[in-house]
């Protein structure tokens, strides 16, 4: 038998493809889970917003979360 006449069995090929699929799926799943955590509010602060159109005012209320100093909160927008 010559060395180039050897081949891989069908069963081994299927097992290798299944293993590769599981590894790729797991790595993508872990990446998605970690990306969701990074996208969350990093300060852990929660705000509520109320718009009063008759007074053209926006009320921003600090509801819960980590400590914030007054100079670290910035509201930006364009008046309409």
53 found inside a domain? no
> Which structural domain, as residue segments, surrounds residue 24?
8-39
pLDDT at 41 over 60: no
- Which of 26-30, 31-35, 50-54 is predicted with the least confidence, judged by mean pLDDT? 31-35
Q: What are phi and psi of 41, to 5 degrees?
A: -60, 115
pLDDT at 39 over 70: no
Report pTM. Answer: 0.39
The domain tally of the chain equals: 1
* The pLDDT of residue 68: 79
74 found inside a domain? no
* The pLDDT of residue 47: 86
* The pLDDT of residue 42: 59
Handedness of CA 63, 38, 69, 59 (dihedral sign): negative
Please compute the mean of the pLDDT values over residues 52-61 and round it to a whole number.
Answer: 87
């Amino acid at each position: 038998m010559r060395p180039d006449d050897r081949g891989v069995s069908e069963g081994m090929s299927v097992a290798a493809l299944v293993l590769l699929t599981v590894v790729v799926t797991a790595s993508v799943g872990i990446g998605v889970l970690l990306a969701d955590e990074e996208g969350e509010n990093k300060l852990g602060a929660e705000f509520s917003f109320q718009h009063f159109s008759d007074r053209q005012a926006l009320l921003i209320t600090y509801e819960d979360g980590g400590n914030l100093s007054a100079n670290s909160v910035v509201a930006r927008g364009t008046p309409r």
